[in-house]
Structure 1
């Protein structure tokens, strides 16, 4: 078992991977450097192996699939996840790993936005998407811990987090899912401001602003529904209840004044919406009980994982 495992998911990063491997070898000489090649069409894997990294392969396309395999296969006291595009300088890695090794955090977020505002986010839609994701995470889950950078690919994680994290994402939604899981399960989170540099000339981001942005927002929507069902279905119930009242009151006034119901379709829609609001509240209550039971089971599983990790050491 490694003391520190540096995990580098890669897809067509032949231009930068050698420098990334050597930088982290220099800063963390005691660490195992793992490069997981995700169907690269260039010679990323060969370059990484020549630089001294342990190269493995994940043939299911997508960063989420790569991280899932990394977490399953590697045993370490601290897991440092970093992109292979040489955008995250290695100098902050030691501080991040120490917070995990000293048992002060289960996930350390490399916060890019507190020190730099990198060029990619100056693209209007790209930057707006990053801000929107951060605001949504903090609005829905930020009661305990305010997140400054929810989409960073630079994180240090404890074995407790890694072995208890049920990864469902397949692509770039993985960062959002990791952040929300840690917040929802009340794990210890801290942020370390890190510098960020642009990709070198000729290197291109694999993140698609529109398609991947929609997937990330869809992930936030689904996680909010799954983790906070009472609020989710409660808001939906309030909306339907309000619309039902708006439709019902004029019909009711006409009935009081004339004794007739000339707008029967409106009355039917109003009643249906009121019933749907009631059912939504009931669903929220049932699913909220299930979510609470899942959190209780998670705490039990965490205790088991802690015991197994102590036995490994």
Structure 2
């Protein structure tokens, strides 16, 4: 029988964790449900144990740190990641897992934004931030099918994804990193609309719209530079080249008419920016070769994992 692991990262979710564990045990009775407590100061861990979950602890604070440990320690045929705040419906879990088990996806995204307008999005700039992140990723990575919800914490993964995903994030930017990794490595992504509900009264979100939003945007910037260096440094080179030409053309025209270069410092600045532009092109070419080799190594790693999985199935 295929083994499903339900992964629930938790920090101070004592109000909701028992219901979450119970709901997912009901829809996935054969699954192992893991609750990773991230230094909670309430009774989250004890309540989860009483509800029937396998409770472990991650002492490095941050959701990214919790997911890193979960992915490293747990082996399964399908991984379902949810939050412990009882905002994601359990009724979609079976369908999401089945897409993974049938080999139709490497990552299934529980898309909240296509079907729900929820209270937390009424916080200032929250909708704006979600749209900015989504549009940035779709614009920069050009997925075959538009990614409609980047920040959702409701996802299912294949073992191929989990065991080849190099997690760098420590906090809430982990979902953005997951999405970009899947797009860059051409993994199969499916989106499934789900009905999101607000947190129960008294339960507070740990997400800070401004600081965590800034981290997410910085993650997109860094990963775009790392995964698409030719595009990143190419754009930089074009901007520097244009600025150099703006400084140089008036001097050149004046030289054609008078034979003199009266603004020599400006010419030096123009030459400096043109040099930096050319260096950016060179950096882009070198780093693009490294990125291409990284993708090749990833494909080799994927083939090895496939061979190992087939051998285990026999």
Q: Counterpart of 1:35 in 2: which secondary structure?
A: strand
Residues 7, 70 of structure 1: 8 Å contact kept: yes
For residues 32 and 189 of structure 1, the distance between their equivalents in structure 2, rounded to whole angstroms, comes to 24
Instruction: Give the match for residue 38 of structure 1.
Output: 38
How far apart are 1:254 and its partner, in Å? 1.7
Aligned pairs for 1:1-313 (under 5 A) are 3-313=3-313
Q: CA deviation at 1:2?
A: 6.8
Within 1, Cα distance between the matches of 2:145 and 2:51? 39
> C-alpha distance in 2, partners of 1:69/1:164?
14
Q: Tell me the number of residue pairs that the alignment of Structure 1 and Structure 2 aligns.
A: 313
8 Å Cα contact 1:33-1:54 kept in structure 2: yes
Q: What whole-Å deviation, never above 9, does each CA across 1:41-62 have from its counterpart, x for those lacking one?
A: 0010000000000000000000
Q: Which runs of 5+ in 1 are unaligned?
A: none
Return the alpha-carbon distance in structure 1 between the equivalents of residues 21 and 114 of structure 2.
Answer: 26
After superposition, the CA RMSD in angstroms is 1.1
8 A Cα contact 1:120 1:127, kept in partner: no
1:80-124 per-position Cα deviation (integer Å, ceiling 9, x unaligned): 000000000100001000000111100000000111021111223
Aligned equivalents of 1:58, 1:80: Cα separation in 2:
18
Paired residue secondary structure (2:161): helix
**Helix, strand or coil for the counterpart of 1:136?**
helix
CA deviation profile, 1:25-68 (whole Å, cap 9, x unmatched): 01110100000000000010000000000000000000000000
Task: Identify the range of structure 1 (270-279 vs 141-150) with the bigger mean alpha-carbon deviation.
Answer: 141-150
Q: 2:154 & 2:307 partners in 1: Cα distance? A: 28
Q: Distance in 1 between matches of 2:42 and 2:310?
A: 41
TM-score of the superposition, structure 1-length normalised? 0.98
